[in-house]
Each structure stands twice: as structure tokens, then as C-alpha cells.
Amino acid sequence: MTVELGRVEVAELSGRFGVTSETIRRDLSELQDQRLVRRVHGGAVVFDATGFEPLLSVRDEQNTTEKRKIARRAIEELPATGTIIIDSGSTLTRFAEAIPRQQNLRIATNSIHTVLALADGVFTEIVVLGGGLRLNTLAMVDNDTVAQVGQLVADTLFISCDGLSPAQGLTTPYREEAALKKAMIRAAGRVVVLADHTKFGQDHFARFADWSDIDLLITDSEADATTLAAIRSRGPEIALA
């Protein structure tokens, strides 16, 4: 059995133990009730009792192929000119790296990683949103950051999430993070979500967007087709990278 970064897959467990997928899902749900694992789309991960967000350096090594594909597809959504906001997150760092180095764009971001990824480019302006620094992600996330975003008007927002589902929309474990993401959505004329398939089926504590707030979801081809259909019925366009 392959366990990568504390993750197991339903299909692999089913084949290994010779039982149905439904049995494995039921067993994983019982383990989740005992706070031994946390259910995610297609399997489960080790339960994190600390509740702390993983270091970006750890998340950056997960699903890198999918993230780069999503990032490349997102380049098609760049406006020809104007202002964009780039949220923090490992997929959005890949997106920043993929942006052509010379663009007639003003770019605002709360992410140190994104600023560094853009540093060798030629842009109209790079605006770094200030505030308290979250060390796990090297992103500014507090009331000061929210206040600064509230003064902006942007053409397009490129945003990430910790979890998403048809019923609950987009979520994160952190209330401050949710407040900032809500402010970013209010500031933007168009909202593009970048999320790989591992975010599907996860509902976290703080919801920051309903599907009616989202114009486009870009994900990878491993995303569950039934879930995608349910999300599409709630409004946003969907693009598979």
C-alpha cells in the first residue's frame, strides 16, 4: 500500500483488503469520528490535531504536476491590461511563476512568495498588501490587509481555497483568511478559483464564498465528474487543465 505524505486512497485500500469501496469509505468515516483520520476526496489523510496550517514548503511539494497545469491554464484568464489580485497559496505561486515576464498589468498580492516569483518581470506596478505576516504561508493576513484590499478595484482576482464542495462553496479553517478572501472577491470584477482535485469534498470552518460569487473554477482532470456537474449547476464555469 502506498501512503504518500500521510494519505491513503479508497481504491487502493479496497483492492488490498478485498472489500468494496463502500466498506472502506464507511471504515474511514468511523476513523474520522475517532479523530484518527480526516476524509478527503478519494481517500483520507492523517488527522492533524493541532489545527495548524501546513507549511507552504510542504504543500508546495504536493500535486505539483496538477498545480502547474492549472497555473498554465489560468494564464488564459489574464486581462490584456488593468489590475489583478493574486491570493496566497502554492498553486497561485505556480501561477505567478507562469505569468509572462512582460505584461501591461498592475498586480496586487498579499503573498511574499508571489512577489518573489514576479520580481524578474516587467509590469505596470506590483503592489504588496501589508499587515501581519502568517509565518506558515509567508502571506499577510489580518485586519490591516483586509482594509487595504477594501480600497482596491481590480479586473480579475485569482484565488485559492483549502476546501470546496457543491453545498458549502469555498472554505478555509481560518476566520482571518476568510475575511481577507471575502474582501478580495468584493474588490474584483471577475473571480477565478485555482484548486486541484484534493480540495474537493473538504468543508472547513469558515466559508468565504458561495458558487454564485465565482465566475470560473480551474481544476485538474482528476476532479470528480459528479461533483463538477453539481458545482456547474450552481453557476460558475469550469475549466479542466
Task: Say if 1 falls within a structural domain.
Answer: no
pLDDT in tens, 219-241: 999 999 999 999 999 999 999 99
Instruction: Based on the fold, state whether residues 111 and 211 are members of the same structural domain.
Output: yes
CA–CA–CA angle 192, 75, 55 (5° rounding): 70
Domain span including residue 23: 7-46
Query: Which residues, in sequence order, are CB contacts of 165 under 8 Å at separation 6+?
Result: 171, 200, 201, 202, 203, 227
Looking at the chain, the whole-number percentage of residues with pLDDT higher than 90 is: 71
Instruction: Based on the fold, state whether residues 65 and 172 are members of the same structural domain.
Output: yes
Task: Say if 51 falls within a structural domain.
Answer: no
Instruction: Based on the fold, state whether residues 34 and 66 are members of the same structural domain.
Output: no
190 residue type, one letter: R
Task: Say if 160 falls within a structural domain.
Answer: yes
The CATH number given to whatever domain includes residue 176 is: 3.40.50.1360
pLDDT of 42 over the 50 cut: yes
Task: Say if 2 falls within a structural domain.
Answer: no
Gap between the Cα atoms of 187 and 204, Å rounded? 23
- pLDDT confidence of 4, banded at 50, 70, 90? very low
Task: Say if 171 falls within a structural domain.
Answer: yes
Instruction: Based on the fold, state whether residues 14 and 125 are members of the same structural domain.
Output: no
Instruction: Based on the fold, state whether residues 78 and 194 are members of the same structural domain.
Output: yes
- pLDDT, averaged across the chain: 88
pLDDT of 27 over the 70 cut: yes
- Better-predicted residue by pLDDT, 58 or 181: 181
- Better-predicted residue by pLDDT, 195 or 53: 195
- Better-predicted residue by pLDDT, 26 or 102: 102
Instruction: Based on the fold, state whether residues 192 and 220 are members of the same structural domain.
Output: yes
Question: Do the beta carbons of residue 159 and residue 87 sit within 8 Å?
Answer: yes
pLDDT in tens, 44-70: 776 554 444 444 444 555 568 999 999
pLDDT of 101 over the 80 cut: yes
Instruction: Based on the fold, state whether residues 14 and 71 are members of the same structural domain.
Output: no
Instruction: Based on the fold, state whether residues 25 and 100 are members of the same structural domain.
Output: no
Question: Do the beta carbons of residue 220 and residue 240 sit within 8 Å?
Answer: yes
- pLDDT confidence of 72, banded at 50, 70, 90? very high
pTM higher than the cut 0.85: no
- pLDDT confidence of 28, banded at 50, 70, 90? confident
Per the structure, the count of domains in the chain is 2
Per-residue pLDDT, averaged over 161-178, amounts to 95
Instruction: Based on the fold, state whether residues 33 and 142 are members of the same structural domain.
Output: no
Gap between the Cα atoms of 46 and 28, Å rounded? 11
Instruction: Based on the fold, state whether residues 186 and 233 are members of the same structural domain.
Output: yes
Helix (H, G, I), strand (E, B) or coil at 132: coil
Instruction: Based on the fold, state whether residues 37 and 67 are members of the same structural domain.
Output: no
Looking at the chain, the whole-number percentage of residues with pLDDT higher than 70 is: 87
Task: Say if 103 falls within a structural domain.
Answer: yes
